[in-house]
Every structure is written in structure tokens, then in C-alpha cells.
Amino acid sequence: PYFQAKRTKEAAEMKGEGVKYKTIHDAVRSGDVEQLEAMVKSGASINELDARDKFTPLHVAANVGAVECMHWLLWHGADATVTNPRGWTPVSVAAIRGQDACMQALITRGASVTTPDVRGSTPVHLSAAHGNSFTLQTLLRAGADVQQLDKQGWSPVHVAAYHGRLGCLQMLVRWGASLDEVDSAGNTPAHLAAMEGHLPVLKFIVTASGNSAMVLGARNDHGETPKMLAKQFYKQAVIEYIEHVEWERDYPEEQESLAFPAHLAAHHGDLAQLRSLVENGIVNVNERDDHGSTPAHKAAGQGHIDALQWLIEMGANVGIQNHAGETPKDVARRFAQLAAVKVLGGTQAEVDGEAYADGVDVDDVDDMSDPPYGNTEGDSLQLTPEQIQQAQGRAKKKIDELRRLLLVAEENYKQLGGKPSIEERREKREIRDRDRQIEELTSQLDYERLKRERLEGQLDEYRREIAQLQQQVQRYEAAFKQQELEAQREQEKRQRSGTKKSGSRKKPPTAGSSGGGGLAGRSRGDPGGVFIKRSSKLQEMLTNAEVSRDFRQLKKHLKRQQMELKKNLKQLQKKEKEEKETSSESSSSESDEDGDDQIEAELKALFFSVQMGDVSLCSHILQTGVSVNSLGPKKATPLHLAAHEDKADIANLLLSRGADVNAVDRDGDTPLMLAVMKKHRLLVRILVERGTDLTNKNKKNLTAADIALMLEDLEILELLEAKQQALQYDPKVHDETILRLVSKGKRQMIDYWLKNFPKQENKRSADQQYKDGRTIAFAAALSGSMEILELVDKYGANLDLPDNSNSSPLFCAAQNGFEKIVKLLLEKGCDVNRVNKNGRTPLFFAIQTSNLGISKLLIEAGADVNKRDANETCPLAHSILSGSQEIFDLLIEKNANPRVFDKDGHDLRFEILKKLHKLGLPLDHVNEKDGETPLLTACQTSSPEVVNYLLDNGCNVKVMNKKGITPVLRASVMGDLKTVKRLKEHGAQLDVPARLRGKTSLVEFLYKEGCSVTTSDDNGKGLAHLAASKSDTELLDVIRRASAPLDEQNNKGNTPLIIATIQPANLDLIKRFIELKCNVETKNNKGKPLQALQ
């Protein structure tokens, strides 16, 4: 209609004629504000409803995006709260159509953004369902509730997941929506995404939740997981993804693989390490790991923009797909790294997430131009600039020649009828995708066919039942006609021959007399006529239903008409009974079959009256003798149905007539359980007050309190607990529920559970161990819930209670990086050196995750830095494996043993160094920060094996760091004579003072090699001072032979002899100084001679 009106307007303008619209809605559709104003002035209502959709002009403006008309209508008082039969306001229509400008205009004028339609869907639900992310953002900024539920119990997150709207889902999560909410059937967004086959949405939910086991292991009310639903609806891609995630969860890697250092650097965003590896030719920029991922995949997934841009500049191929078929851009989208998507060339729609959500395929990229994998010659680093330039020229010529030959070979291959490998792979992929789609469509078709057959079978049953009722009606009509004829004959006979005893003629019975027969019954209101009308109406409706084939509508009308027919039959039977009593002739009894039909009709009428909430009809049916505890479908009583449908008045009536409040249906559910499941609080209160047994359990072994606990309904739990102790602890029922509540941060529910937990001997409720021996404190530390951890602490919980693997809450907090929780647990006195079944302490997990802050907290609290696990691996070894230099330095500072051995006695540093060298890492790499090399570090940590390996492989022994320290100087400071000798053998110059560390053998070796023995340190202390402070007579003899000065003063004016007297008495050393003719009258800076000091 919009385009038709627009064309009409354009044609009229070309002819110079004025446009005449039939209705005000046509003017709005064409965006003609002038005609709109003219029509309103001429008497048209500004809130007029159209005939088809019952839209006001505001609805139409929101539908077609006529912003100017929208503003004019709002300025002139148009009502923005009018709803059409579906319950849609203009805001709802703008949300469906994605008219963001209209939405802003409506919100500015105060329109409500939370008005639900007939299905309970708010504008936020509608925007999420139709993928209108801009309109959704406008609604959220206006204060729309992201947690509001519709009548199915769906939040906007459920709607976005069901329709596969990834962009809208990400936006809702950023605005605080929870991915753990469940609908009325217990389905989470992950269930809906898996059921509909929206793989990108499911990947985002699993990634955003951070706990794949909980997301993929959640079960709905039917006990189904997302994987089960995916199998039920043949979503093969979703099944493969979930199985892959489960496999990775069941077989986790113990440590990062060292075979791909560039991938590790890209994952951690270490641009310096990545640049060093690539520029030095150690790894290729497009190297693939075991999963087919390149460094670009790793950087894109973690959102390291600097590393990603540098890789692209270095020629990284961003079109390479990993084993999961994802490019770096796909990985960035999956982890919601929008900046990385933009860097990789994503469109605005892809950045918003809608293109990926709607299933847009990534274009195939020709990866034939990938540079070869592997390492190049590292000796080129020693070439001169001219030699490097010449080598580059030769390499370029070789590449050009190979490309020319490749083109020739490809042309020959095509001419011979072959297809390039890329085209073959593309065709195979297309055929595979097409086969998969055909298989899914075939399965869906089979499902729909079965569904249709089932509905047709139900329709046939209703038709047969209607035919039976019609035959019964015909029998009753024939019986009525026969009785009427007999009554007429009897009346005529009496009129001719019968006379009263007084001689007067007997009056015929009137309509008001009580002794009338069939005619009297007809005159008082013959139900047969009503019944005939109902029958004809039913026949007409059946004809229309057969034409339209609308199964749902037919089923609804058939049930209603069926109950009306049975009601009329009952009235007919009652009148027939009265006529039989007044008639002189004996009446024939009804057959057993008719009696059974009557009982069945009365029973169905009873359940129908309960479902409709008709108290008077229900009371009338019960008065006819129908049992109040009669069993209906699924062996449910009328009280079950009243509890399920929230019919409080009916429930009170049934209970007053003696309904069994503890009756169970086919599933073992009592009426109270059904009321709790549907959260009908008034029914729960009524049933509890009538004495329902709260200890009853259904076939799933659940009580009403257990169901309320699973549904997280605190109000119902309090209603149940107010009557009696409702909660009875059952590990099979409560363990997973309590741990799930803790992981979702439900503090009030946990508080209620701890208050009402069944008392056990010698055990506090807060210390109860659930599945796998985990306590509430353990689960809170695992999920990072500080509030729940503080809550259980108030209840006196033991925060150091371990699980079955002997891991305490401190392990969980350290592994997951929850620093505040670690501080709290340490303050509460948790054992920082507890070991789990693998022999590891919390410090191991903090180091594995490279968390410096938690590592410092644990070490300051007394963590053993030299503890070894079951594999004889210490924290220092793990810091090396995790690549954390800061933690390594921290452990060395805290006196960690630098000699890192495994259980077989091998130096782990040596083994790691050899492995890295085989992978191509340079042994002379210089740290840009402090100028340290591996050789300098090995000399500091006193590792002879590492030093020998480095020297044997040609490391530079003359290298110097930024502080001017050489390997020889470092080894001398450490007092390592063997290392100094090895360095000298490899050409190192012994230009170090012999005073360092004062080790006798080292000093003697150095001065024999010509090193100075007369130098002093920054405090003015020489070798003689050192010998005096250490009371080392052997060192004194060595420096005497080296002619070192024995009377020099340090910065405080103390001579070696003065220091010897200050130290604990060593008379032999003092005598030795005196024998060497040291001056005993020298004074220090305080003017005190030797005698005063003594």
C-alpha cells in the first residue's frame, strides 16, 4: 500500500493535479504531511483505526518509517498507547520494522518501551527477534528491561538465541542480560540455539559464560541438554561442535605446548617476542599449529590489535582456515573482538554481529600464495649488508621463475581437463554442505509429516465422536416425536370420552401445570430446538474446517461444541426421566452403552468446567453424583487441573466437597507440585493450609520444596517452610541444584538453604559437602562469587575444606585469577601449602596462569617456593614453562632454588634450552630491556650444564649487559670457579678484580692469572677487609702472597685489624695481622684507636 500510494502521488504531481487519499492512513503511508494536516482539519480522526490491521496513523508511520508524519502526529496529540488486536503499540511496530528514527521520536514524546503485546512480548523482545540491533540499542538506552519475560517465560536473550541474532545477543549481554536464565520449560538460551542450529550463537554463549560444562550440561524440565536437542532436530554442525568442546574438556593439556612459540606469543600479546621470532627467521608468519591455527588466529581471538596489525604488515594470510573452518576474522567474531574484526576488513554489519548471526559465509580465499613453512637459514644474520642485498635479489629472481613455471603448469593442467586444487576443494565443500542441508531438510520434512499425521488422526477421532453424538441426537429426536404423537392421541381420547365426576369436562393441561407430559416439557422450553440449532451450527463449522484445514482452530471449536452438545444431552435425559415417572406406561431402561456414554460425558463436563473456572457449573455437576476425585487424562483429578490452571475458586469448591489433597497423577505429582511448577502462589497457600503432605515425592524423587528450590522461587519456599520442615536433604536431588545456584550467584537462595538445611549431628550446614566433595565455599571460589563466600563465612563455614581431589577453595581462586577471594581466604587462615592429589599447591596454579598478583599474595603468606609436585617439578620450573619472566624473578628473589631438577635428576632448564634450540631459537638473543643474554643468566643461576651447552654452541663470551657486567664478572661474583675457568678456555678475558666474593680458590686463581688484588669495592673494602670479616686465615695467606695491602682503610676508616677485633674474637687471625706488622695505632673516622675498640 505504501508504494502504491507513492506512485499515485507521483503520477498526480506530474499531471498537476492534487492528490486525493481515501483515508488518513494512505496519506501517512506516502509521507504527505500537507495532505495529512488537511484531512485532520477536515474532520478525520488523528487516532482513526484502519479496517485491516486496526492501525492508527502512528502505527502506520512507524511501519513505513514516515518520520515527518510521526513528528506531526505526536505534536498534535496522537495517542501512542493505542494497541491493535495483537497488542502492538507504535513502539512495538517500530521495533519490528527497525525504524530507529521513529523509535527515538516516540521515546522523546514519552512513549512506553515496556508495554507487552498479547503474547507478553515487549519491544525489546520484538527487536531482538527481528535482529534490529540499532533499534534495540535505542530501547536499552531508554531504560528498557533486559530481563522482562513474556508469557512463555522467555527473556530477550531467549528470543535472540532462538532466532540466531548474534549481534542483538551480544548487545543484550553487554547491557547486563544473563545467559543462565531459564524459561517456563527450563530451557536456557543454549538449548534454543542448539535446537535451531545457530552455531555462532551457541559458540558465543559458551565463550561468554566461561564454563562450557555448565552451559552444555544444563538440562531443561524434560531432562534434555543442548546436545540432545541438536540430535533430535538433526543439527549436525552443533553436535560436532559440542562433542569437540566436551573432548577438550575431558582431555585438557597440562601445559602450553612449546612447539609453537610464535602462537604462544600472539596469544599473550607479546609483540616483542613475536617480532623477534619472525624477523630472525625462526618461525614463519603463517605457521600452523596442531589445530591448523596461525598466529593471526591467536591474536584475533584474544583481541591483541597491535600484534594483529603487525602480522598483517608482515604478510600474514588472513584467509587461512583452521581445522574448524574458521579464518582469523571468524575467530574474532566468535570471541566478540569487534576491533579485531574491523582490522581484518569486516563490514559495519559484521562488526555489529548481524552478518555472522544470519549465516553469511566467508568468501573463499586463495591460499596458494602462502609462503613456505619452516625455518630459513639463520646464518644470513652474519652477512654484510651488500651480501644480504645480493641474496635477496637472487631469491626474488628464483621466486619469479617459480611463479612463471607454476602458471604454465596450471594452464597445462587445465587444458588437459584437470581442475585446480582450490576449485576441487571448493566444489567438494559445496557438495558436502548441500548434502548436509538436504539431510537436515529431509529430517525436518519427516518430522512435519509425522506431526501432520498425528493431528489428522486427532481430527478423525473428533469427527467420529461428533458422528456418534449426532446419531444419539437423532435417536432422542425420534423418541421425542413418538412421545408427542402418543401424548396427542391420549389427549384426544380423553377429550372425547373422559368426563369429570361433577359432570364438567376435564380441562386440558396447560403450560404451567405440573402434570403435563411431553407437550408440557416442550412448552416449558423445548431444548430440542436449541439442540438442533447447535447441531446445524456444528455441521456448518465442520464444513468450514474441512475447507480451511486449520487443525488448531478446529480442535478448539470442536471441544467447545462437544461440551455444549453433551450438556444439552444431559438436559434431554433429565426431562425424559421426568416424563417416564409421570407416564402410566412402564419405561424401557437405557442400554449399558448409553449409560457409559452418559458417565463419560459428565466426567468430561466436570473437567471442562474446572478448566474454564465455572464454579456454578462445576458445583452443579458434582451435585449430580460425579466423584470429586474422578480420574481424567494422565490420571489427574479435577484438583490437579485446578492447580495447574490457577483456578483458586474451583480448588476451594473441590476441597470443600472432599477432594483428595494428596492425590497423585501418572507422574506422581500432587496438586501442590503442579501449583509450585506453575508458580501459582495463591494455590500453594490454599493447598498448604488444607494439610497437604509436604513430604510426598513424585516419580523423579522430588518434593514440592525441591521443585521450588530448582525454580529459585524463594516466596513459595517460605510458604512451604512456614507449615513444616519442607526440605529433606537428598544428595541425588540437591547437590547439582545447590552448586548451580552458587555458580549463578543466587545469594538469597543460598542464605535460605543454609538457614533451613536439615540439621545433622556434628556438622554445620555451611560445611556440607555436595557432588565431588565440593562445599558451597568451594563453588563460590570457583565461580568468583565474593558475596556467597562472605555469606558462608558468617555461618561459620570452614573455608579450607577440600574436595575429593584434596583441592581447597584457595586452589580455585588462584587458578581462575580471583585476587580478592584469594586475599579473603588467606585472611581466614587457609592452608597456603596444601597439596592436591597431584602434589601441587595453590602457588602452582597461580604460576601456570601467569598471575603475578596472586603469586605475590601466596608467597607473602608463606607458600613454599621450593615445593615439588608428583612429577618432581617445582614452581620455578612452571614459571619457565609459562614464560612469565616477572614470576621467575620473584621466585629467585624469594630464595627459590635455581637448580631446577625433575624426578630423574635432569636440570629442567637444560632440557628446555635444548628443546628451544632445536626449534630454532637463537642462543645469543639479547633482552631489549636490560641487555641480558642466556649465558649471563646461566652464570647467575650457577647451572654448569647450561653454561657448557651455551659455550659449546658458540655463544659470545664477551657480551656485556646494560650495567657493564660480562659473563666472567657474573661468575666471579657468584664465586663459581669452574664456570670462570670454562669461560677462560673459550676466550673470555679475566679483567675482573680478585676481591669478588672472596672465595679463596677463586682469588688465588684470579691473581695468578694477573687480575688486580688491590682494588676495593664501593665501601672501600679490599680483600684484607673481607678476610677479616670472614675470619678466613687461608684467604689472608693468599692475599699476603699476592702482596695485597693489609693496612688500607675503608670508607669508615676501619683497617682489617680493627674489623678483626670488632668481629667475634678470633685470636689466631689477630695474631696473624700483628705478625704481618699491621699498624695497631690507626684510628677510624670516629677517632677511636684499636685500644678503645677493644
Q: In DSSP terms, which residues pair with 465 in a beta bridge?
A: none
Place of cell 501512542: 80
- Rounded CA-CA distance 621/643 in Å is 19
Burial of 346 (0-12, 13-18, 19+ CB in 10 A): buried
b (16+ CB within 10 A) / e for 529-544 = eebeebbeebeebbee
* pLDDT score of 74 more than 70: yes
Contact call for residues 159 and 96 (beta carbons, < 8 A): no
List, for residues 3-32, the tens digit of each pLDDT value. 444 444 544 443 344 456 788 888 888 888
Contact 692, 661 (CB under 8 A): yes
C-alpha 231/C-alpha 191 separation (Å) is 12
Written in H, E and C, the secondary structure of 879-947 is HHHHCCHHHHHHHHHCCCCCCCECCCCCEHHHHHHHHHHHCCCCCCCCCCCCCCCHHHHHHHHCCHHHH
Tell me what the mean pLDDT of segment 438-447 comes to.
78
Asked if the model's pLDDT at residue 525 lies above 50, the reply is: no
What homologous superfamily is domain 804-904 in, according to CATH? Ankyrin repeat-containing domain (1.25.40.20)
Print the SS3 string covering 706-752. Answer: HHHHHCCCHHHHHHHHHHCCCCCCCHHHHHHHHHHHHHCCCHHHHHH
The predicted-structure confidence for 546-593, as pLDDT tens digits, reads as follows 444 445 555 566 667 667 766 666 666 666 666 655 553 433 333 344
- pLDDT at residue number 89: 93
Helices (DSSP H) in 353-384: which residue ranges? 354-357
In the predicted model, is pLDDT for residue 1077 greater than 90?
no
Residue 214 predicted with pLDDT over 70: yes
For residues 371-395, give the mean pLDDT: 53
Q: Sorting pLDDT into bands at 50, 70 and 90, what band is 357?
A: very low
Residue 774 CB contacts under 8 Å (≥ 6 apart), including other chains: 739, 782, 803
Are 818 and 787 in contact, with CB atoms under 8 Å apart? no
In percent, the amount of the chain with pLDDT more than 90 equals: 7
Nearest to 246 by CA among 214, 205, 198: 214
Average pLDDT over residues 500-520: 40
Give bridge partners of residue 907 from the DSSP assignment.
901
Q: Give me the phi and psi of 195, to 5 degrees please.
A: -65, -35
Residue 84 reports pLDDT greater than 70: yes
Q: What is the pLDDT of residue 127?
A: 93
Q: Are 1035 and 1027 in contact (CB under 8 A)?
A: yes
In this prediction, residue 156 carries a pLDDT of 94
Query: What are the b/e assignments for 595-609, b being 16+ CB within 10 Å?
Result: eebeeebbbbbbbbb
- Asked whether the predicted pLDDT for residue 702 surpasses 50, the reply is yes
Q: What is the mean pLDDT of residues 180-203?
A: 90
Residue 85: helix, strand or coil by DSSP? coil
* Residue 725 confidence (pLDDT): 58
- Residue-level pLDDT at 44: 85
Q: Tell me, what's the pLDDT at 120?
A: 92
Residue 890 cell numbers, joined: 620473584
pLDDT at position 361: 34
**Per-residue pLDDT, 528:** 42
pLDDT band at 619 (very low <50, low <70, confident <90, very high): confident
- Residue 35 C-alpha cell reads as 495532505
Instruction: Please give the DSSP secondary-structure letter assigned to residue 361.
Output: P
Task: Please state which CATH number belongs to domain 1007-1094.
Answer: 1.25.40.20
Taking alpha carbons only, the member of 19, 90, 335 closest to residue 207 is 335
pLDDT value of position 1058: 75
Confidence bin at 352 (pLDDT 50/70/90): very low
pLDDT digits (tens, 9 = 90+) for 407-416: 777 777 776 7
SS (H, E, C) 787-829: HHHHHHHHCCCCCCCCCCCCCCHHHHHHHHCCHHHHHHHHHCC
What is the Cα–Cα distance from 256 to 263, expressed in whole angstroms?
Answer: 10
Superfamily of domain 146-252: Ankyrin repeat-containing domain (1.25.40.20)
pLDDT at 506: 41
Cβ–Cβ < 8 Å for 71, 104: no
State which CATH number among 1.25.40.20, 3.40.50.2300, 3.30.1280.10, 3.40.630.10 fits the domain covering 724-798: 1.25.40.20
Q: Which CATH superfamily is domain 1-121 in?
A: Ankyrin repeat-containing domain (1.25.40.20)
Q: Quote the cell numbers at residue 792.
A: 558462608
676 Cβ contact partners less than 8 Å away, ≥ 6 residues apart:
684, 704, 707, 708, 711, 713, 716
Neighbours of 290 (CB within 10 A): 10
Looking at every residue in the chain, the average pLDDT score rounds to 75
Q: What is the pLDDT of residue 521?
A: 37
Which has the higher per-residue pLDDT, 1066 or 38?
38
- Asked whether the whole model's pTM tops 0.85, one would answer no
d(CA 237, CA 233): 11
Please give the average per-residue pLDDT across 969-980, as a whole number: 78
pLDDT at 533 over 80: no
CB atoms under 10 Å from CB of 697, counted, come to 18
Distance CA 1061, CA 1070 (A): 7
Question: How much of the chain, in percent, has pLDDT values that exceed 70?
Answer: 74
Q: How far is CA 832 from CA 784, 899, 924, in A?
A: 19, 23, 39
CATH topology assigned to domain 256-352:
1.25.40
Q: Are 98 and 134 in contact (CB under 8 A)?
A: yes
Residue matched to cell numbers 597445462: 412
Q: Is the pLDDT of residue 193 over 90?
A: yes
Closest CA to 5 of 93, 69, 81: 69
Average pLDDT over residues 95-111: 90
Compute the half-sphere exposure of residue 754: CA atoms within 13 Å on the CB side of its CA: 25
**Residue 122 CB partners (closer than 8 Å, separation 6+):** 113, 114, 115, 116, 144, 145, 148, 150, 156
Q: What is the DSSP string of 524-569?
A: TT-HHHHHHHHHHHHHHHHHHHHHH--HHHHHHHHHHHHHHHHHHH
